[in-house]
Structure 1
Amino acid sequence: MHRHGAVRSQSRRGECYDNALPGTTQAESLWSLLKTEVLELREWPVFADPADAQASIADYFDYYNHDRLHSSIGYQTPYHAHRQLLKTTALNCPA
């Protein structure tokens, strides 16, 4: 890594929130669900090739955002909740 100029991004031991960014919890949840709802259900090898991996993950992201209901947002899809938030925000914004 050093030879290529890459810098490690790693938290200190016992400090899991060192690298936390806004939305990190949701991102970690998404990756966890992808692993349990897609990857662990497939036989090895999980993907035929990189194009298959990309298409499969894109399909899951589409499902996650447009079809999968999330209890943390009132059993709505993220897409629907975001659209509702945009409407509310637009109504509360001064012109």
Structure 2
Amino acid sequence: MRIAHADGHTAGNAISHTDRGSQYTSVQFRETLAELDVRQSTGRTGSCFDNAAAESCFVVLKSEIGTTAWPARKQARQDVFGWIAQHDNRQRIHSTIG
């Protein structure tokens, strides 16, 4: 979250939607969100529907870059972030969230 914020990818009062994993429900994570002026949204327990758009994105990512075994973590990060930058949509309203 700090990297996205530092790179200017969050605006004031942005929303971070996560599942109920312990890393996302921790006091430290919530304090970081508050510090960055990001609101937290967490899905209901046992509901897969709120995560469908993210899962769809990961399916496309995996199908397009495959299951490459990168020689170094740095190269893997570059490839994944390159894919995200190529597919990032900053103009059109997302059909799932309006």
Q: TM-score, normalised by structure 2?
A: 0.34
Which protein has greater RCO, CA pairs closer than 8 Å, 6+ apart?
2
For the pair shown, the structure with the greater C-alpha radius of gyration is 1
Normalized per residue, which structure has more strand?
A: 2
